[in-house]
Structure 1
């Protein structure tokens, strides 16, 4: 969250020097369950059969494999503990199996909502949320979080 805060402040400052304003968005996966333990188990299950060499091959073949964002994701994975959490409820383990969006907000409904609100407080206005399998995670998110989140028309 500290890096998000610093990045947004830096970019706003740069834009202001050119009489411009920026808006910010965040692309992230979400794994929400009734309890944090259940959400963490769901995250673990996603990678339970992943061979690290196969994951590396998938990432290397991606068109964005050399982008700054993907390199930053790799740095975060290196800093994360064995369970893959870089900070409370932010899991970077998903990036072991894919390129691009390599983080997931993982937790119970209150934790996921708090994390999204924290990002909003820092200046994130738009979110692109996904999960695996997408339809199932979208359903869980809509049942547990969406109804409690201030959002635009769907």
Structure 2
């Protein structure tokens, strides 16, 4: 599942569970999002703004339209979120749509302090999300922020070394 407003995520999960139960099946849910985490909310918001500050809106549109998935339902919904966002790109607490200004696909990020990011992830878990696919820009730098600020505070499966791949 890609980023959406909390009530919409809950609605999708409930709808899919009901449909699956009609066939005697149970579903598990995962969530794909970008993450921008810093020591403080202000620093996280500044990092998010910095990602897109030099982006020409017309160039962002060209990038999105060149993507093979530009006409998919998921991309359409990401565009709706972006268009309904506040001037700073947020559609709800800690959910920023600015990533979608420069790319197709998953176009939103969980943005905030460690506590805000953890609370957002736990809120998704409370809705039934069991797995997360998280990324950020630049990839290594954002992974290091997440590993230092968030990972020690959450329960997760053991991590494997890249040497095993």
What TM-score, normalized to structure 2?
0.92
Displacement over 6 Å in runs of 4+: none
Deviation at 1:95, TM superposition (A): 0.2
Deviation at 1:52, TM superposition (A): 0.3
Aligned to 2:90: 85
Q: Return the alpha-carbon distance in structure 2 between the equivalents of residues 41 and 18 of structure 1.
A: 47
Residue pairs, 1:66-85, within 5 angstroms:
66-85=71-90
**Number of residues paired by the alignment?**
154
Secondary structure, aligned partner of 2:116: helix
Q: Does 1:19 align with 2:24?
A: yes
Deviation at 1:38, TM superposition (A): 0.3
Structure 2: state its 5+ residue gaps: 1-5, 160-165
Aligned to 1:59: 64
Deviation at 1:16, TM superposition (A): 0.3
Residue pairs, 1:1-154, within 5 angstroms:
1-154=6-159
- Alpha-carbon displacement from aligned partner over 1:36-57 (angstroms, at most 9, x marks no partner): 0000000000001000000000
Deviation at 1:152, TM superposition (A): 1.0
Aligned-CA RMSD value: 0.5
Deviation at 1:120, TM superposition (A): 0.4
Deviation at 1:93, TM superposition (A): 1.0
Structure 1: state its 5+ residue gaps: none
Q: Return the alpha-carbon distance in structure 2 between the equivalents of residues 153 and 67 of structure 1.
A: 34
Q: Return the alpha-carbon distance in structure 1 between the equivalents of residues 79 and 37 of structure 2.
A: 24
Q: Return the alpha-carbon distance in structure 1 between the equivalents of residues 25 and 96 of structure 2.
A: 33
